[in-house]
Chain A
Amino acid sequence: MLSNVKTKPVDVRTKTRADRILDVRNLRVSYQTGGGQVRAVNDVSFFLRPSERLGLVGESGSGKTTMALSLMRLLQSPAVIEGGQVLLDGVDLLSLSEEEMRRARLADIALIPQGAMNSLNPMLKVGEQLRDAVTAHMDSGGKTSREARIFDVLESVELSRNVVNAYPHELSGGMKQRVCIAMGILLKPKVIIADEPTSALDVVVQRQVMETLGRVQSELGASIILVGHDMGLMAQFVDRVGVMYGGKLVEVSPVREIFKDPLHPYTQLLIGSLPTLESKENFKGISGMTPSLLTPPTGCMFHPRCPQVLPHCQVEIPPLVEIKPDRWVACHLYNGS
């Protein structure tokens, strides 16, 4: 009935606060499988401040990539977004039509996908792929202004103009990753989601690519969500870290606090398991297995592996609450405070 409305009016209750460029509320995503329904993202709420760098960490199967894709509405069947809101500057992306969402992608919210360097089309020159992306979104402005924008972004990711004439296989991994960053920022999005952008790169190149990404993001004034499992990369790059476990967000804290004083027992074990150059032969793994999402445990997802488990952890799902300024945790240990 309201299908002709370009952007949905936002009522008072869902109005975002000015300090939140992205506000994700009660997002639920599930996969319909032969064995039953798998809830990969389970009632997740978090927000992103303007110009902020937020890290989303979790092990494989924790739901972090599903979450990244659902923010972009790029999930495909059998994945279904069951509910929740993704408010970008006050507009709920989940309520947009397909066409409106297509326009929002890249222009407002951009994704640098996992293994991005393999997402380039091997048959097309880099320039053509960048041109495709601009043409699909920039209606106004002539060919010259589009070309100018392409050269601009290549310069900002420290690539020479010549790469427009190169095929992807002629570039090194680091250069391909830079092309993907260039594509992500072509239309100056407000939010960039980078899913493990450097996981296939060597450490030296990784650092250079991350520094480029960081610089480009500050120049644009965009916010960034860095999805990954490398806590070292998070420590070096982000302002705040959100920890996912079994489809749930279990803690969100500023990066210094999460390394110095992790709150959730899972975060504590995760930080404790990281190898450092401080001491040798220091192996503290987390015993037990990641939960099966087909038959998830009752109550808190982490209770079967938790060394500090309380009786009602098996029964009641702890909500994510702000127990101290800017420190959010979903754990019954902090219920009293």
Chain B
Amino acid sequence: MQLLEAQSVTKVFGSGVLSKDRLVAVDEVSLTINEEKPSIISIAGESGSGKTTLARLLLGMIQPSDGNIRFRGKDLATMDRSERREFRRQVQAIFQDPFEVYNPFYRIDQVLTTPVRKFKLAGSKEEEQRLIEESLQLAGLRPNETLGRYPHQLSGGQRQRIMVARALLLNPRVILADEPVSMVDASLRATILESLMKLKRDLGISLIYITHDLTTAYQISKDIYILYRGSVAEVGSVEQVIKDPQHPYTKLLVNSIPLPDPDIRWGSQNDVDQAPLTSGLKSAHGHGCKFANRCPFVMAECHEKQPPLYRTHEDRAVACFLYKNEPSVGGREMAESLAA
């Protein structure tokens, strides 16, 4: 059974079809997590790519303009109270800033006892304490070094791991992590990513990892979705997409990673060295490939219609007319095939 699905979801901000303020933040994106096959999926893109909007859609925080989000086959929009409550418990989120989520006047404990009480997870004080200590340990923290403290007494890495512990308390099936390590120091980054990986390996929890950092995405995930201005530019296994990118935009992204090796020079990874920047988020006209005005390989048809996904490999599809000789594939079909 499919655990969590985005079925051709679109989110438009602003109103009116021809309004100048209309912004298509997410444009017909499909994504699937299979209940039987826990997996780590990365959603990568730059600011304005729609990755955070997609995350908010998946969490049910905002409603799609078109398409739907399904949890165990049920559309979030038609869920009743108890179904929604179950969804809220099974799908947890970890956000970017490990500083902002805490109230500085409360001890750390409060962040952990609130969900226990809200979802009535424990019958007694002792059970509550036991649950909290267990989840802290799963997140790689020592309870005696964290409980009873105030947020400012803990490091950024510890604070972020407490958010992992909080998510774990509810025994979720999916954790959605939006840039969980971008504000954490390098030496702690590895530790947090490792604890997220362990959740999948040891507890079978799937992870949706939202990031702009292709290196960590490569490190932890099986599949990756590259978003460009709301659309999937390229999707597939990380081995395919990051090690051998095909979409000109993915090539540009991979080529811009500052690799920690002075012998691999910036921009020497592939044939898309640089692309001009465009101003604003909207293209001059609504149709055509969104990357066309920056693409070094642009062709006439790129300005006429949006390219569909072409399946260039069993584990990969690319939305680019350069690959039009390959069979085209629907976004949903591709997502389901990767999740299977």
Interface check B185, CB cutoff 8 A: yes
Q: Are A255 and B262 in contact (CB under 8 A)?
A: yes
Q: Are A207 and B46 in contact (CB under 8 A)?
A: no
Q: How far is the CA of A233 from the CA of B47 in the complex (A)?
A: 19
* Closest residue of B by beta carbon distance from A171: B279
In the complex, chain A residues 61-88 whose Cβ is within 8 Å of any chain B Cβ? none
In the complex, chain B residues 189-210 whose Cβ is within 8 Å of any chain A Cβ? 189-194, 197
* Closest residue of B by beta carbon distance from A277: B218
In the complex, chain A residues 185-211 whose Cβ is within 8 Å of any chain B Cβ? 202-208
The interface-forming segment of B73-81, B249-257, B319-327 is B249-257
Q: Are A236 and B258 in contact (CB under 8 A)?
A: yes
Interface check A259, CB cutoff 8 A: yes
CB distance from B114 to the nearest CB of A (A): 26
Q: How many residues of B contact A (CB 8 A)?
A: 43
* Closest residue of A by beta carbon distance from B217: A275
Q: Are B274 and A283 in contact (CB under 8 A)?
A: no
* Closest residue of B by beta carbon distance from A271: B260
Q: Are A274 and B186 in contact (CB under 8 A)?
A: yes
Q: Are A256 and B263 in contact (CB under 8 A)?
A: yes
Interface check A231, CB cutoff 8 A: yes
Q: Are B260 and A276 in contact (CB under 8 A)?
A: yes
Interface check B316, CB cutoff 8 A: no
* Closest residue of A by beta carbon distance from B191: A285
Interface check B121, CB cutoff 8 A: no
* Closest residue of B by beta carbon distance from A285: B191
A235-B260, A274-B186, A275-B218 are known; give 7 further A-B pairs, CB within 8 A: A207-B258, A231-B260, A237-B258, A269-B187, A280-B219, A281-B219, A290-B185
Interface residues of A (CB under 8 A from B): 59-60, 172-174, 202-208, 229-237, 255-256, 259, 269-271, 273-277, 280-287, 289-290
* Cross-chain pairs A/B with CB under 8 angstroms, 16 sampled: A172-B277, A172-B279, A173-B47, A203-B46, A204-B275, A206-B256, A207-B258, A232-B257, A232-B258, A235-B258, A236-B265, A255-B262, A259-B262, A275-B218, A280-B218, A289-B158
**10 smallest beta-carbon distances between A and B, as pairs:** A285-B191, A232-B258, A283-B194, A286-B187, A202-B46, A285-B190, A59-B185, A203-B256, A283-B190, A236-B258
